[in-house]
Amino acid sequence: MGRDPNGPYWINELENNPDITPAILILAVLNGAKAPTGGAPDREYLADKIDIGIYFSAVKGLGQRDDTIEVMGLYDGTDAGVDAAIARTDSIYADALDADDGQFLLQLVGVVDDPFAIA
């Protein structure tokens, strides 16, 4: 959620509980953030990350792993981080449209709305 974990609970679970896999850990953290008892900042952080991912992959049709890591890494929980991720996505998309060196794009038109479109 863009911050250090508070306490060694999950580290202990991952190291000592064979029933806790990395996938289960991720689901537990996400479910905790979305739960009514979760914090509003965690829900907002998660919602922003989801919107950035939708914009990158579905709206712009991008999918290169290194680009994905770079864009998602730009988000730091702030509005400036959202803006930086959008700007970098737009730059990667512009490069992907190059007729000679572009990428294969698979945009999902009509499936999801652009989360950053101005209404």
Helix axes 65-74, 79-96, angle to 10 degrees: 160
84 CB-contact burial (10 Å; exposed 0-12 / middle 13-18 / buried 19+): middle
- Give residue-wise pLDDT tens across range 27-82: 887 887 777 777 788 888 889 999 999 999 999 999 999 999 999 999 999 999 99
- Give residue-wise pLDDT tens across range 86-105: 999 999 999 999 999 898 89
Spell 10-34 as b/e; 16+ CB within 10 A means b: eeeeeeeeeeeeeeeeeeebeeebe
